[in-house]
Structure 1
Amino acid sequence: MRNIVIEELKASEVYRQKVEVVERKGLGHPDYICDAIMEQISVNLSQKYLETFGTILHHNIDKGMLVAGEVEGKFGGGRIVSPMRLIIGDRATFEAQGIEIDVPGLAISTAQEWLLDNLRFVDPENLFYQVELKKGSAELTDIFSRGGEILGANDTSAAVGYAPLSPTEKLVFECERHLNSRKFKKEYPESGEDIKVMGLRHKEDMHLTVAMPLVDMFVESEGDYFKKKIELHEQIEEFAAGFAEKERAEFEGCMCLKPTASLNTLDVPGRELQGIYTTVTGTSAEDADCGQVGRGNRVNGIIPLNRPVSSEAAAGKNPVSHIGKIYNLLSHRIAARIYRQVPDVSEVYVWLLSEIGTPIDQPQIATAQLILKKGSLSEAEKEATEIIEKELENIHAFSMELAAGKISIC
C-alpha cells in the first residue's frame, strides 16, 4: 500500500490574493538556453542508450553554464569579438557491454542543433564547447544494473506541483511564447529572443515589465530604435488586453482585468547605443549575462513567487531514477488531473517525497492538498487517491515520455 494522504487546504486561491508576482525567462535568455540544451542532451543520450543497449543508462547532464562572450554593437549590424562558451558537465555512461558511446560528440552536436533551430542569429559553429562529463560513482551507477522496470530513487528528495495556473501565471507564460513565436518574429524580425516577462498583479491591476532586445542589424539609428520600440510596446499591450478578456470568462471573480505593460525600462534617449537595449545575436549571453542550469523557469515554464516550488533543477537529469526530474514533473501532472477530474476542487497542491534506493513508484509519502469550492473532503478524497495511485502505477510510461522529450521542462 502506498502512503497517500489527502487533506483540505483552508486558503484563498492564488488568483484571489491581493498581490501576485510571476516571472518567465524566454527562449533566448542565457538560463533558458542552458536548461533547454542540457535537457535535449539527456533526451538524445537516453535515446542512444535505448537504441544501443535496450535500456537507459546512468547519466545526469544537469550542470551547465553559458559564459558570455564579447561583441561590438553597431547600428545596421555589429560583430562578435569573442564567442560565447558553453560548458556541459556532470556524469554519463561512456561504455557498456564492450560498446563505447561518443558522449562528448553527442553533447556538442545536440547543442549545435538546438542553437540552429531556436536562435536565428547565433552561429552554432562560432561557440566554444567545453565538455566536462565524467563517469558516475559506483553506487549510483549500480542502480541501473539491479534490473527491473522500476528503478530505485537516486536521492532522497521532495517535489511539489500545483494546478491550475492562475490568470497572471498564464498571461506571463503566453506573453513570452507569443513574442517568441515564429509568426511574431516574421512580422517583427528586430525583436530578439532574449525576452523576460515579469508580471505583477495588485488587486485588479495587472502590469507586465518586459525586457526584449532589438537586433541591431534591423535598427538604423537611435530614433529608429524608439520608433520600433513603440510598435512592439503596442503589440504587447494588445496581446495582454485580449488575453485578459478571455480569462474573465474562465475564472469566476478573476481580478486580472486591467493589464498594462512596460518595455525596456532602462532605456534613456540621447545616449545612443549606451542608452538602448540592442544585441547583435538576440541574446544577452553574447556579452552581458552568463547562464546556468537551474536558474531559469520551474518545470511548468514560469517562476511563480506565490507558490511553493522544488529547489531541484530538472533539466538534464536522467528520466528513470532521478527524482529531481521525475517527481518535479509528475507532481504537476497529478495536480492537473485532480483539478480536472475531481468535482468542486478550485486549486490543488501535490507533494511527493522519495527515499534513496526505494523504487520510484513507492514514495515515502504522496500528499494532495485541496482547496474546495464546496462539499466535504470525504467526497473528494477517494477520487484524488485513485488518481495518485494510477499515476504512480504508470510511472514507467511517464519516465519514457520524459526520455523521449515529450514533456517540456522549461
Structure 2
Amino acid sequence: MRYITVEKFRSVSASEQHLEIVERKGLGHPDSICDAIMDAISVNLCTEYLEKFDAILHHNIDKCLLVAGETAGIFGGGVMVDPMLLVIGDRATFKAEDIEIDVANIAVDTAKRWFDEKLRFVQPDFVEYQVELKPGSAELTDIFRRQKGILGSNDTSAAVGYAPLSFTEQAVLDMERHLNSSVFKEEFPESGEDVKIMGVRRGSKFDVTVAMPLIDLFVDSEQHYFNMKQEIFRSMNAYLAGYLEKNNVQMNASISFNNLDIPGRGMEGIYTSVTGTSAEDADCGQVGRGNRVNGIIPLNRPVSSEAAAGKNPVSHVGKIYNVLSHHIAARIVEKVPDVKEAYVWLLSDIGVAIDSPKVAAAQVIMNKGSVDSVAREIEEVIDFELEHIQDFCMQLARGMIPVC
C-alpha cells in the first residue's frame, strides 16, 4: 500500500498572479552545455551496461565544470587563443563480472559528439577534456546488487513538479527553441547558440529580454553588426506577435535584444562570439545551475533543489522523482476532469524501493467542483505511475525524456 494524499493548493494559479518571472538558458549556454553532456554520458553508459550486463550499473555523472577559454574577436572571424576545458566528474562502474568498461573514453567521445552536433562553430581543438570519474562507494554500489527489478533509493531526497506550464513559461521556452531551431539558424546563420531569455509578465504586460551573440565570422564591421541585429530584432518581434495571435492571448508585449551594445565602441561595444557560446572566454558552466527539468527557471514556482542531469536513472531519486513529479502532475491535469493546476511532491526514504515513496502528495487547483470529489481519481493516477516506475526509468535511461 502507498500512502498518497490529495489536498487543495492554497494559492492562485501562476497565470492569475500579477507577476511572473521566467528564465531559459538556451542550448549554447555554458550551464546548459554541462547538463546536456553529462546526461548524454549517463545515457551512453546505460546503453553500455545494458549491452554487457543486461542491467544498469551504479553511476552518477552529475559533477561537471566547463572552464571558459580565451578568444580574440575580430571582424570577419576571430580565433581561439586558449581552449575551453570540460572537467567530467563523480562516480561510475568501471568493472563488473571481470569485464572492464571504458568509462573515460565513453565520456569523452560523448562530449565530442555533442559539441560536433549541437554547436556549429566549436572545432574539435577548441575543447580539452579532464575525466575525474572514480568507482563508487561500496554501500551505494551494493544497492545495484541487492535485488532485481525495482531498486532501493540511494538517498533521502524530495522533489516537486507541476503542470501545466503557464503561458509565460511556455512562451519563454518556445522562443528559445525557435531561436535555436534549424529554420532560424538557416535564415540567420550569424546567430549564436548561447541564447538566454528572461521573461517577465506584469498583469497583461509581457516583456522579454534576449541575449544572443552574433558570430564574428559573419560581421564585417560595427555598422554591419547593428544592421544584422536589426533584422534579427524584426524577426523576433514578428515571431512574438504571431505567437500571441496563435495562442489567442491579448498582451502588451515587448522585446529587448543585446541590451549591453553601445555604438561607437567597436568590438568592445557589441556582443559577438567566435564559437556561439560564452564559454569561449566569458562564462564558465556547471551542472545544476541551468534550467529545471521542465526546461525553464520559474521563479514563481516551488522547485526541486537537486540537479537531475547525469544521475543514474534507476536508483537516484534526485533524477527520477525530480522528473517524475512533473510527469505525474501533467497526467493529473490530463486525466482528471476540472483540475486546473497540479503540484506533486515526492519524498524518498533511503534504501526503500523507489516505487514506495515516503511521501506522495498532490496539491491541486480546480476549475470547478471540489478537491474531495476528484481525490480518489488523483490518487489512482499517482498510484498507477508509481506502479509503472520501471518503464519510466527505462525511458530516462534511453534519453527519451529531456532533463534540461
TM-score normalised to structure 1 length: 0.98
Q: What's the secondary structure of 1:130's corresponding residue?
A: strand
Alpha-carbon separation, structure 2, partners of 1:273 and 1:55: 53
Residue 251 of structure 1: aligned partner: none
> How far off is 1:378 after superposition?
2.0
One-letter code aligned to 1:31: D
Q: 1:302 aligns with which of 296, 321, 334?
A: 296
Alpha-carbon separation, structure 2, partners of 1:131 and 1:10: 47
Determine whether 1:242 maps to 2:242.
yes
Residue 97 of structure 1: aligned partner: 97
Q: Which runs of structure 2 are paired with 1:56-95 in the superposition (5 Å)? A: 56-95=56-95
Residue 209 of structure 1: aligned partner: 209
**After the TM superposition, which parts of structure 1 deviate over 6 Å for at least 4 consecutive aligned residues?**
none
> How far off is 1:279 after superposition?
0.3
The runs of 5 or more residues in structure 1 that have no matched partner are 249-253
One-letter code aligned to 1:323: V
> How far off is 1:125 after superposition?
3.7
Residue 271 of structure 2: aligned partner: 277
Q: Deviations over 1:68-120 (max 9, x none)?
A: 00000000000000000000000000000000000000000000001101000
Alpha-carbon separation, structure 2, partners of 1:104 and 1:10: 48
One-letter code aligned to 1:23: E
Determine whether 1:189 maps to 2:189.
yes
Q: Which runs of structure 2 are paired with 1:100-179 in the superposition (5 Å)? A: 100-179=100-179
Q: 1:237, 1:261 within 8 Å by CA — same for their partners in 2?
A: yes
Alpha-carbon separation, structure 1, partners of 2:309 and 2:371: 36
Determine whether 1:2 maps to 2:7.
no
Determine whether 1:325 maps to 2:315.
no
Alpha-carbon separation, structure 2, partners of 1:325 and 1:6: 23
Q: What's the secondary structure of 1:38's corresponding residue?
A: helix
Q: 1:344 aligns with which of 338, 341, 353?
A: 338
Alpha-carbon separation, structure 1, partners of 2:246 and 2:161: 25
> How far off is 1:270 after superposition?
0.2
Residue 353 of structure 1: aligned partner: 347
- The count of residues paired between Structure 1 and Structure 2 equals 404
Q: 2:283 aligns with which of 285, 289, 292?
A: 289
Alpha-carbon separation, structure 2, partners of 1:341 and 1:379: 14
> How far off is 1:282 after superposition?
0.5
Alpha-carbon separation, structure 2, partners of 1:345 and 1:17: 18
Residue 255 of structure 2: aligned partner: 261
Q: What's the secondary structure of 2:247's corresponding residue?
A: helix
Residue 357 of structure 2: aligned partner: 363
Determine whether 1:390 maps to 2:384.
yes
Q: What's the secondary structure of 2:302's corresponding residue?
A: coil
Alpha-carbon separation, structure 2, partners of 1:171 and 1:131: 37
One-letter code aligned to 2:89: G
The runs of 5 or more residues in structure 2 that have no matched partner are none
Alpha-carbon separation, structure 2, partners of 1:257 and 1:126: 43
Alpha-carbon separation, structure 2, partners of 1:214 and 1:377: 51
Alpha-carbon separation, structure 2, partners of 1:268 and 1:123: 30
> How far off is 1:377 after superposition?
1.5
Residue 40 of structure 1: aligned partner: 40
> How far off is 1:237 after superposition?
1.4
Alpha-carbon separation, structure 1, partners of 2:341 and 2:96: 46
Alpha-carbon separation, structure 2, partners of 1:88 and 1:165: 32
> How far off is 1:233 after superposition?
1.0
Q: Deviations over 1:338-395 (max 9, x none)?
A: 0111111111100000010000000001000010111111221111100000000000
Q: What's the secondary structure of 1:74's corresponding residue?
A: coil
Residue 408 of structure 1: aligned partner: 402
Alpha-carbon separation, structure 2, partners of 1:335 and 1:229: 40
Q: 2:346, 2:360 within 8 Å by CA — same for their partners in 1?
A: yes
One-letter code aligned to 1:338: I
Q: Which runs of structure 2 are paired with 1:14-53 in the superposition (5 Å)? A: 14-53=14-53
One-letter code aligned to 1:270: G
Residue 198 of structure 2: aligned partner: 198
Alpha-carbon separation, structure 2, partners of 1:124 and 1:398: 35
Q: Deviations over 1:147-199 (max 9, x none)?
A: 22000000000000000000000010000000000110011000000000000
Alpha-carbon separation, structure 1, partners of 2:130 and 2:317: 27
> How far off is 1:124 after superposition?
2.8
> How far off is 1:133 after superposition?
0.2
Q: Deviations over 1:34-79 (max 9, x none)?
A: 0000000000000100000000000000000100000000000000
Alpha-carbon separation, structure 1, partners of 2:111 and 2:146: 32
One-letter code aligned to 1:259: A
- Which segment is superposed worse, 118-127 or 83-92? 118-127
> How far off is 1:16 after superposition?
1.1
Q: Deviations over 1:273-296 (max 9, x none)?
A: 000000000000000000000000
One-letter code aligned to 1:395: I
Q: 1:112, 1:125 within 8 Å by CA — same for their partners in 2?
A: no
Q: What's the secondary structure of 1:382's corresponding residue?
A: helix
One-letter code aligned to 2:82: S
Q: 1:241, 1:258 within 8 Å by CA — same for their partners in 2?
A: no
Alpha-carbon separation, structure 1, partners of 2:137 and 2:366: 46
